Amino acid sequence: MVKRNVFLSVLFIAMLFVAFLMLVPFVWMLSASFKNNMEIFESPINWIPAVFRPDNYRKVWIEINFISFFLNSLKLAISITAAQLITCSLAAYSFSKLRFPGRDKIFVAYLATMMIPWHAIMIPQFIVVKTLGLYNSHWSLILIQAFSAFGVFMLRQNMLSIPDSLHEAARIDGCGSLRIYTSVILPLCKTGLATLTVLTFNGIWNDYMGPMLYLDSDNLKTAQLALASFKRQYSADYGAIMAGTICSIIPIVLVYVFAQRYIVEGVAFAGVKG
Amino acid sequence: MTAGPGRYLPRRAAASRLRRREALSGYLYILPNFIGFLIFTGIPVVAGLVISFTSFNGVNTLKFIGIDNYLKLFKDTNFKTALVNNLWYAFSVVPLTLAVSLLLALALNRRLLLGGFFKTVFFFPTLTSMVAVGCVALLLFEPNKGPINQLLKAITGLPVESLPKWFFSSKTALGTVVATVVWKQAGYYMVMFMGGLKNIPPHLYEAARVDGAGPMRTFFSITWPMLSPTTFMVTILLFISSFQTFDIINVTTEGGPGRATSVLVFRIYREAFRDWKMGYASAIAYFLFMIILIVTLIQWHGQRNWVSDD
């Protein structure tokens, strides 16, 4: 028993150390964002700045007009998430509750497309988008990401757990399939919808290469693009870079605080089936 | 007996009409996904292969040059360096992430004080973007004034000149990228492992205890074999993502110093979108596709055969 307690204490201390390693870059970043260049690299580090200087944030929000990049990211994340929720849930409903010839074969084929890596097809996809005249518009990113085999798969698993008898009962009551979908199926797979929402939002918010390929005008660019080019332009202005980084992760922190359960569930699900 | 077809026919007709309508809505509801997939994935998969046999540069008409692009791969030192770097990257990131995330999951699987807090904290870096992580890592690893080298200087007493230059030396750049990525993503796979651990039936551990098995014995006879489906899955996912790494490299080192951190997707990006050699870049992209396809086929094969699924 004593041996066990010693072991658990050692483990606890080790975990405290790992937690420190995981958090310290963020704490350092937060602290640096309120300092000027001299103070950032003071040794030993002053974790709590002697003077809180808001200059870096002023620079980020006013001088480089971060708000417009921020809003672009928000617009993309919200519209793509909304589009995926609709297209994925409709398809998932069809694959799980409606009967039609070839249903399961089509589903397996669609599932198999999950293994096509985006990076392998980004060149021809870029040409398609350009041919359609969508290059340098938000529509390019919205349309290419409005559909997701993973989303369909996850929501289908969720809907399979809804008893068929419920579906039949609504049908006998004379409900059309669209009506059943909106008033029976959707309310019963809220967990799946919430999980897809947070995962998609997070993924789109953090996306870097997609916007980099498809957006050219400054007024269309996203927060990640702004941060990356900001880092290049102001490479010596460390405090401002840290302030920009902090601003870019605020929405993610908020989502995590309110929806941690769904994120963790989504990751666990991805682990079961890739 | 005399009920006859007369009474059934209308009903059967109605039923088949209903079934037809159900089938119609079924197809209708998958139509958006189908069209989206066709335009933005289906056509590109075929077009990419076609383009890889041409000297397409973004504007000229398709000029077929046979397998020249693929032959060029074997002569192009830029490509070969990127491939070797990517293999180094994959074979360091995969085992390291696997080990760290498994150890963290095993630790948190004991009901530790503050367990929920630890899980939240370890998972947090996963959610931040690679751009943000890259920005912080660049400053933390800054060779002269950065806190990491300052700390090392204080511990070892060596001058900063003789300390590692991290992102800024071709010897250490790839290793620094690996360390940063492992730090960022360990929490993600830890959550997957925790799911796998939770699925191991507790009665197995009770049986082991009754039989007097020690912790090591229990781990190697129960936990490790029962966890093998998760371990297998995580390994595959890690390999696939390792061959697609790009963001962190474009933000921190841009493939440098020299070509020290150039990887496959980085080469594709440079060839296609900087030099507009889309034909040649498509050949690299298809090479990458084949690597990932092979890993995925191993996964399918493995899932059916050697993984204990119960």
Can you give the CATH number for the domain in which B203 is found?
1.10.3720.10
Rounded Cα–Cα distance for residues A191 and A186 (Å): 10
Rounded Cα–Cα distance for residues A223 and B132 (Å): 10
Check CB contact under 8 Å for B127 and A29. no
Q: What is the mean pLDDT of residues B214-223?
A: 86
Cβ-nearest to A241 among B121, B135, B289: B135
B271, B280 contact by CB (below 8 A): yes
Q: Is B61 contained in some domain?
A: no
Check CB contact under 8 Å for A208 and B233. no
A272 has a pLDDT exceeding 80: no
Q: Is B44 contained in some domain?
A: no
CA-based nearest distance B218→chain A, Å? 15
pLDDT band at B2 (very low <50, low <70, confident <90, very high): very low
Token pair 């060596």: residue: B158
Supply A217's token pair. Answer: 């005008």
Q: Each residue of A26-47: pLDDT tens digit?
A: 998 898 888 887 787 777 777 8
Cβ-nearest to B113 among A12, A178, A206: A12
Q: At what angle do helices B77-109 and B173-198 cross, to 10 degrees?
A: 40
Cβ-nearest to B288 among A120, A128, A260: A120
Cβ-nearest to B233 among A101, A176, A271: A271
| Number of domains chain B is built from | 1
What is the radius of gyration, based on Cα positions, of chain B? 27
Rounded Cα–Cα distance for residues B143 and B150 (Å): 9
Angle at A201 (CA atoms; ends A196, A204), nearest 5 degrees:
120
Instruction: Identify the domain containing residue B90 by its residue range.
Output: 76-129+184-304
Q: What is the mean pLDDT of residues A166-184?
A: 84
pLDDT at position B94 is: 95
pLDDT at position A274 is: 45
Q: Is B246 contained in some domain?
A: yes
Q: A-B interface: how many C-beta pairs under 8 angstroms? A: 267
Q: What is the mean pLDDT of residues A186-213?
A: 91
B300 has a pLDDT exceeding 90: no
Contacts of B119 in chain A (CB under 8 A): 264
A79 has a pLDDT exceeding 90: yes
User: Nearest CA to A114 among B94, B292, B48?
Assistant: B292
Find residues 151-180 of chain A whose CB sits inside 8 Å of chain B.
152, 176-178
B6 has a pLDDT exceeding 50: no
pLDDT at position B230 is: 87
Contacts of B104 in chain A (CB under 8 A): 15, 18
For the domain made up of A67-273, the CATH class stated in words is: mainly alpha
Cβ-nearest to A98 among B26, B33, B299: B26
Given CB atoms, is A114 within the 8 Å cutoff of chain B?
A: no
Check CB contact under 8 Å for A12 and B147. no
Q: Each residue of B77-108: pLDDT tens digit?
A: 999 999 999 999 999 999 999 999 999 999 99
Which residue pairs, CB below 8 angstroms and at least 24 apart, start in A122-125? A122/A209, A122/A213, A122/B268, A122/B272, A122/B285, A123/B44, A123/B48, A123/B51, A123/B268, A123/B272, A123/B278, A123/B281, A123/B282, A123/B285, A124/B43, A124/B44, A124/B45, A124/B47, A124/B48, A124/B51, A124/B282, A125/B40, A125/B41, A125/B44
Q: Is B169 contained in some domain?
A: no
Given CB atoms, is A141 within the 8 Å cutoff of chain B?
A: no
Supply A183's token pair. Answer: 């008033």
A124 has a pLDDT exceeding 90: yes
B255, B264 contact by CB (below 8 A): no
Check CB contact under 8 Å for A206 and B130. yes
B150 has a pLDDT exceeding 90: no
Q: What is the mean pLDDT of residues A106-120?
A: 87
A273 has a pLDDT exceeding 60: no
Of A46-55, A72-81, B202-211, B270-279, least confident by mean pLDDT is: A46-55
A51 has a pLDDT exceeding 80: no
Burial class (CB within 10 angstroms; exposed 0-12, middle 13-18, buried 19+) of A214 = buried
Please give the mean pLDDT across all residues of chain B: 86
B9 has a pLDDT exceeding 80: no
Q: CB neighbours (10 Å) of residue B50? A: 14
Q: Each residue of B11-24: pLDDT tens digit?
A: 677 778 878 888 88
ipTM for the complex shown: 0.87
Q: Each residue of B244-281: pLDDT tens digit?
A: 999 999 998 988 788 889 999 999 999 999 888 888 99
pLDDT at position A16 is: 92
B251, B131 contact by CB (below 8 A): yes
Domain boundaries, chain A: 2-55, 67-273
Supply B157's token pair. Answer: 């007493």
Q: Each residue of A231-257: pLDDT tens digit?
A: 888 777 888 888 889 989 999 888 888
Rounded Cα–Cα distance for residues A137 and A135 (Å): 6
Q: Is B249 contained in some domain?
A: yes
Task: Name the E strands within B245-302.
Answer: none
3-state secondary structure of B64: strand
Mutate one of A15, A86, A145 to test the B interface: name it (highest B CB count within 10 A): A15
Q: Is B272 contained in some domain?
A: yes
Distances, alpha carbon B85 to alpha carbons B12, B179, B234, B286, B292, in Å: 66, 15, 22, 18, 16
